[in-house]
Chains A and B, each alone.
Chain A
Amino acid sequence: MDRWRAIWAAAAALLILLLVFFCRCVPDGTFKHPSTTTPEVLADGWEIAAPGDVGLNPDSLDKVMTAVSAEDRYYNAVALLVARQGKLVFETYLRSPEDRDRYHHVVSVTKSVTSLGLGLAMERGLPRNLDTALYAYLPDKFDADTAKRGITVRHLLTMRSGLLFDNSDFSVEMFAEHPDDEIAYILAKPLYASPGDSFYYRDCDPQLVSCLVQRVTGQTLEALVRDNLFAPLGITDYYWEQTREGYTSGAMALHLRPRDMAKLGQFTLQRGAWQGRQLVPAAWIDSSTAPQVDPHEGAERGWRYGFYWWVLPRLNGFTAWGSGGQYILVVPDRELVIVMVSLPDVSGDAGVPTKLDDFEELVAPIVNGCSLRR
């Protein structure tokens, strides 16, 4: 009996030891390895300056750098860039310096680029105006529900088509299940409200804008933007996903490099002009970045929604906003552009995403640390 007791005791002790020994043997790591913050001079069109040279308080940048470098805040932040007066003054890559030269999925920042693309199309005369019914351009894609014929371009730009197509369903159905006729498939979704009545943030509305642009211009949204916006801005290394039918994804799936995102911000700050050429009408930029609709989100902060841009009264600016923490913030009266890139596919739990209110808090010292435009 004594021998058995000894065996059992030894075995039990060994098991406990093994469990303790192995329970932490996969080493834990860190996500953030911040790079320097001084932008490198590259042949990409960006002029580099020191923050002090453009009236930006370096202390405010240090404060933001400390905050964004913390492991337990802004968890998934990958890059932060600041440009003022057309010059890049701050650039840090939190995960790897290589992220500077990679393109990143900017998720719903894509919608803001789609908005610029529609501005390009309208500059070419089509669609004629925002209150034109979508039915006028795509009559063959509508089903028998005549109420849907009241959907206008403006409704699509302000997320008020009334179509009931949740974003999670949209991603699966459009990019995994591949419906035969994508436009008809979207338009076959039932109405949950009359067109124009209710804001409901969805991917299907900007996707219809992309389809509309293709139908009226004969070019994909990507081709239109590539030739008339990206090329003049020197944006060449990007990826923009298409649906199986060949429509550019209007709501997400554009991949951009951080510096190119900053160029888009600077372009918008310059009201559609670039190196002396007016690429997108200034009036279109003004309309798209002005409050158009109440998004029922951020009410305490006064957020409003333009044509696929979020308007932020506290910062007196507007931003493109992609899931996870992708931002192109433009503050015109401070001549300021701030770009943030994050890992995109995070869920809402455990505070991982850098949400818009977090971003507002993060960059407020930078915005407040520079003088108003004279």
Chain B
Amino acid sequence: MSGLVGCRNRLTPALIALALVAAGARAEPVSPARPNGFGLGVVLGLDQLRDDALVPFRWTGPLVGLSLGGDFSTGRVRHQPEFSISVASAANRFGQGALAADVAAGYRVFARPLRLASGGLEPGGLLFYRQHNALLYSWDDAHDYWLNGFGIGPALAWRRALSRGATVGIEAAGSLLAFASRPPGYRRNKQDRTEQIEFYFVDNFRDLRVSLPDRYQAADVRAGLEWRAGRGVLAAGYRFDLLRATWPAPGIALLHGLWFRWCSGAR
């Protein structure tokens, strides 16, 4: 399992950035059109998960998600709160099913862009809460498998204006210090109290561990285009989310797909 999301995936942000830079290489450097208001988004993609605490199979299936948030600039700082939820129905190679739900709440801040020849680079930070619950019901219909955590980490955005109305950009963020929770390695209880809401907020966070990225990772990369649409900004692109933990056995959830967002204002 140590090879999960190995070197290929560590190249992801660089690949995306290179491709987008190449796509916009001949664009004239003009001021980017920035979203500035409340946002509503959808994501359509794939969820892949594997939890060796049960069985080392990969479950893959379609994912659909919604996000609510915003993009607000005040002076030298851009604020980006977001709440998102997604659900997926997945199956392993034998067609055995699983359901997964992901809830994320985050707050990103980015500093004023550092002007570079190829665009603006915005260093920032992330405060996040992440909850990924999977019911691998064919193999264990009595217990929930989760990869949960909250914490802080760095964030980085890069944007480049393609024209007065369009911007290409990429944002990446990841956990640095997290309080993370995983299910026990061996559960004696006959079944988790999955019907009870407190299970997800109490039992799911009972065994919190202070974790650096070697033990728990929550990272995402979003790359796409933004363009003005009336008084707002439309955006579309690719989103890649990774959750990974090493105990009690390795577990990983990888969500990726196309995202679309409309933001109510622009500046």
Contact = CB atoms under 8 A, between A and B. Distances in A.
B112 interface: no
B97 interface: yes
Contacts of A25: 5, 8-9, 48, 254
Nearest to B141: A347
Contact of B50 (A26, A72, A349): A26
Given A24-B48, A176-B196, A241-B188, 8 more contacts: A10-B19, A11-B168, A26-B60, A27-B4, A28-B93, A252-B190, A345-B141, A347-B141
A19 B188 contact: no
Contacts of A253: 188, 190
Given A22-B240, A350-B97, A352-B96, A29 B258 contact: no
A324 B140 CA distance: 10
Given A22-B240, A29-B52, A105 B188 contact: yes
Q: How large is the interface on B (under 10, 10 to 19, 20 to 34, 35 or more residues)?
A: 35 or more
B256 A22 contact: yes
B20 interface: yes
B49 A26 contact: yes
A170 to B, nearest CB: 9
B184 interface: no
B254 A26 contact: yes
Q: How large is the interface on A (under 10, 10 to 19, 20 to 34, 35 or more residues)?
A: 35 or more
B55 interface: yes
Contacts of A30: 56
B246 to A, nearest CB: 15
A30 B92 CA distance: 11
Residue of B12, B52, B139, B240 with highest tally of chain A CB at under 10 A: B139
Nearest to B256: A22
A221 to B, nearest CB: 17
B172 interface: no
Interface of B: 1, 3-5, 8-9, 12, 16, 19-20, 22-24, 26-27, 45-46, 48-50, 52, 54-58, 60, 92-97, 137-143, 162, 168, 188-191, 193, 195-196, 223-225, 237-238, 240, 252, 254, 256-258
A14 B19 contact: yes
A373 interface: no
A29 B249 CA distance: 13
Contacts of B19: 10, 14
Contact of B139 (A18, A171, A343): A343
7 contacts: A11-B237, A19-B256, A28-B92, A241-B188, A345-B139, A345-B140, A347-B141
A18 B58 contact: no
B148 to A, nearest CB: 19
Interface of A: 3, 6-7, 10-11, 14-15, 18-19, 21-31, 72, 75-76, 105, 171-172, 175-176, 239, 241, 252-253, 255, 343, 345-347, 349-350, 352
Contact of A29 (B58, B94, B97, B225): B58
Contact of A15 (B48, B162, B237): B237
A7 B258 CA distance: 17
A230 B22 CA distance: 72
Residue of B52, B93, B96, B223 with highest tally of chain A CB at under 10 A: B96
A170 B60 CA distance: 33
Contact of A171 (B191, B238, B240): B191
A26 B48 contact: yes
A114 to B, nearest CB: 16
B257 A19 contact: yes
B56 A31 contact: yes
A105 B16 CA distance: 47
Nearest to A174: B190
Contacts of B162: 7
A22 B56 contact: no
Contacts of A176: 191, 193, 196
A10 B168 CA distance: 12
Contacts of B12: 22
A175 B50 contact: no
B22 to A, nearest CB: 7
When A and B form their complex, which 9 residue pairs have the shortest distance between CB atoms, in order from nearest? A29-B56, A347-B141, A345-B142, A10-B23, A350-B96, A28-B58, A26-B48, A345-B140, A14-B19
A350 B95 contact: yes
B23 A14 contact: yes
Contacts of B94: 72, 75, 350
B237 A26 contact: no
B137 to A, nearest CB: 5
B191 A172 contact: yes
